[in-house]
């Protein structure tokens, strides 16, 4: 399991809560439209927009969840026995490529 910072955990949980609440709000809204006997044509427009918003919220949640945190000097030193200068930061992207300039 990947280690995330507190900020990354907050972003992941917040995006998931947004996704779930958007579904609940949409269901309530369309339920009220159905009870009020709004014509089907009048319901389909907002339903389509809400489905697009829910899909985008899910995509944002999945992308935030799949981002691997960057490994720092201390993480890699303890894992690989690498003895480089203290304070030197080794940044790698999710494919493991070195991000130093």
pLDDT value of residue 5: 84
In sequence order, the β-bridge partners of residue 98 are 92
For 45-94, the pLDDT digits (tens) are: 999 999 999 999 999 999 988 876 655 545 554 555 554 555 555 666 66
Q: Which two tokens stand for residue 60?
A: 């944002």
Give the predicted TM-score (pTM) of the model: 0.61
Give the DSSP H or E segment for 53: helix 40-66
Q: Is 4 exposed, middle or buried (0-12, 13-18, 19+ CB in 10 A)?
A: middle
């Amino acid at each position: 399991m990947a280690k995330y910072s507190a900020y990354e955990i907050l972003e992941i949980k917040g995006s998931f809560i947004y996704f779930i609440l958007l579904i609940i709000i949409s269901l309530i809204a369309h339920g009220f439209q159905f009870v009020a006997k709004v014509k089907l044509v009048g319901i389909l427009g907002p339903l389509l927009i809400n489905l697009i918003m829910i899909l985008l919220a899910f995509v944002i949640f999945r992308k935030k969840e799949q981002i691997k945190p960057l490994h720092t000097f201390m993480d890699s030193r303890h894992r690989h026995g690498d003895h480089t200068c203290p304070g030197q930061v080794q940044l790698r992207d999710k494919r493991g490529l070195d991000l130093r300039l």
